[in-house]
């Protein structure tokens, strides 16, 4: 090799070495950016869609949010969860002393089998987050909406952290099936306390998890919302003040007895009951509901469906009614989207012409 070529080679090698050093410095800065910014993970461009969260993504969002905002055991669990996976155990809220029992279920977040008393409850789209719940002195950290948590995580580049935590996350019912029976409190069962087995009541209807939560609409120039719990339903809008109803299965023979239909005592006892059943029609799985004593009318149908909105696949709640199951309204998981999509008619839904 002549001296000219050797000189070029040495310069090239030096340049590569300097580039390599520069890359190492950049990587080192990236690795330390999370700690220097107070965030649990380095920022990325990965985004979360709050309107399309699975149960695993939901616990990941809550853990990532609480870990970043409040640190301590939430931060430790978030970090461990990336390596060992998250598990959220479902208990009745009476296992803990909480200031807000939500829908009657306490979600206990653990990682690597270690329970450090991290709990949250859910009420509609709002989540109340606690720490130290196992000590009997649960400390409430905040009540925050799913939308606000997602916004915070997206604004701070924590979307990839959420994706990492959601991978392999598990949801486990620790009540030995107890969540299939409504809790004995007004927030879970409505105002009527009459027990299963009376007035044609054959037990609670288990509302699918994808239906649960609060959904908003602005269709028909009438803003409103529906909220489904594990066995409950509430509509708010217009002249309706949002009274919560319990959803039960009904003995088909109950309304065949005319004396039941006209019995004022039964009407009073069941005024907060709905009868529910599931129907497959129009390519969707519907929850069909009537009032408990209703003998005429097709009832109201609700089903979760997916539509393309702003280029993204978004879960919506479709409400339909009548013998032909025409769509009455479409509900969304945020009020802002409900306003944005008000009056929108989707090509794959069955509207009255």
Pair 227, 234: CB distance under 8 Å: yes
Looking at residue 193, its pLDDT comes to 40
- CA separation, residue 350 to residues 186, 219, 282, 284 (Å): 37, 15, 8, 12
Task: Give whichever of 257-261, 292-296, 305-309 has the largest mean pLDDT.
Answer: 305-309
**Residue at token pair 């409504």:** 182
Model pLDDT, residue 203: 87
| Burial class for 93, CB neighbours closer than 10 Å (0-12, 13-18, 19+) | buried
Query: Where does CATH 3.30.1460.60 sit in the chain?
Result: 50-173
Extract the tokens encoding 343.
């009056």
User: In this prediction, what percent of the chain has a pLDDT beyond 90?
Assistant: 45
- pTM confidence score: 0.49
* pLDDT tens per residue across span 167-213: 878 888 776 544 444 443 333 333 334 446 688 888 889 999 899 99
Q: How far is CA 75 from the centre of its chain?
A: 22
- pLDDT grade, residue 327 (50/70/90)? very high
> What is the pLDDT, as a whole number, of residue 20?
38
Beta bridge pairs of residue 330: 318
- The CB-side HSE value for 57 (13 A sphere, CA atoms) comes to 17
Amino acid 126: pLDDT: 87
CATH 3.40.50.720 fits 50-173, yes or no: no
Q: Nearest to residue 106, comparing CAs of 85, 82, 127?
A: 127
CB atoms within 10 A of CB 286: 21
35-93 pLDDT, tens digit per residue, is 445 888 899 999 988 776 778 888 999 999 999 999 999 999 999 998 888 998 888 88
Specify the pLDDT at position 239: 67
Q: How many helices (H) and strands (E) does the chain have?
A: 9, 17
Residue 323 has a pLDDT of: 84
What's the confidence (pLDDT) of residue 52? 64
Taking phi first (over 0 means left), then psi (-120 to 50 degrees means alpha), and beta for anything else, what does residue 199 get? left
Ramachandran region, residue 113 (left: φ > 0; alpha: ψ -120 to 50; beta: rest): left
Angle between helices 146-155 and 159-166 (to 10 degrees): 120
Task: Identify the weakest region by mean pLDDT among 84-98, 276-290, 333-347.
Answer: 84-98
Residues near 269 by beta carbon (within 8 Å), at least 6 away in sequence: 192, 194, 198, 199
The predicted-structure confidence for 112-152, as pLDDT tens digits, reads as follows 878 889 999 988 778 999 998 886 778 999 999 988 999 99
């Amino acid at each position: 090799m002549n001296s000219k070529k050797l000189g070029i080679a040495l310069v090239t090698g030096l340049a590569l070495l300097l580039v390599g050093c520069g890359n190492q410095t950049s990587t080192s800065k990236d690795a330390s950016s999370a700690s220097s910014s107070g965030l649990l993970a380095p920022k990325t461009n990965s985004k979360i869609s709050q309107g399309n969260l699975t149960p695993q993504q939901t616990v990941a969002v809550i853990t990532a949010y609480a870990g970043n905002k409040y640190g301590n055991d939430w931060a430790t669990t978030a970090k461990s969860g990336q390596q060992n996976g998250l598990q959220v155990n479902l208990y009745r809220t009476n296992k803990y002393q909480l200031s807000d029992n939500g829908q009657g279920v306490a979600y206990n977040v653990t990682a690597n089998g270690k329970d450090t008393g991290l709990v949250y409850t859910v009420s509609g789209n709002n989540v109340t987050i606690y720490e130290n719940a196992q000590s009997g002195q649960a400390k409430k950290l905040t009540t925050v909406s799913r939308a606000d948590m997602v916004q915070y995580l997206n604004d701070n580049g924590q979307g990839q952290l959420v994706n990492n935590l959601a991978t392999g996350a598990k949801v486990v019912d620790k009540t030995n099936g107890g969540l299939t029976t409504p809790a004995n409190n007004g927030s879970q069962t409505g105002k009527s306390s009459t027990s299963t087995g009376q007035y044609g009541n054959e037990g609670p209807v288990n509302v699918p998890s994808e239906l649960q939560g609060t959904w908003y609409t602005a269709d028909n120039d009438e803003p409103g919302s529906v909220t489904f719990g594990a066995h409950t339903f509430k509509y708010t809008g217009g002249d309706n003040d949002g009274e919560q109803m319990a959803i039960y299965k009904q003995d088909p023979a109950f309304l065949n007895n005319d004396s039941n239909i006209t019995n004022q005592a039964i009407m009073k006892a069941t005024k907060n009951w709905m009868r529910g059943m599931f129907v497959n029609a129009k390519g969707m799985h519907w929850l069909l509901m009537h009032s408990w004593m209703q003998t005429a009318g097709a009832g109201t149908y609700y089903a979760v469906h997916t539509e393309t909105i702003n280029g993204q696949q978004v879960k919506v709640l479709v409400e339909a009614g009548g013998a032909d199951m025409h769509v009455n309204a479409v509900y969304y998981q945020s009020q802002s989207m409900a306003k944005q999509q008000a009056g929108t008619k989707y090509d794959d839904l069955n509207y009255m012409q």
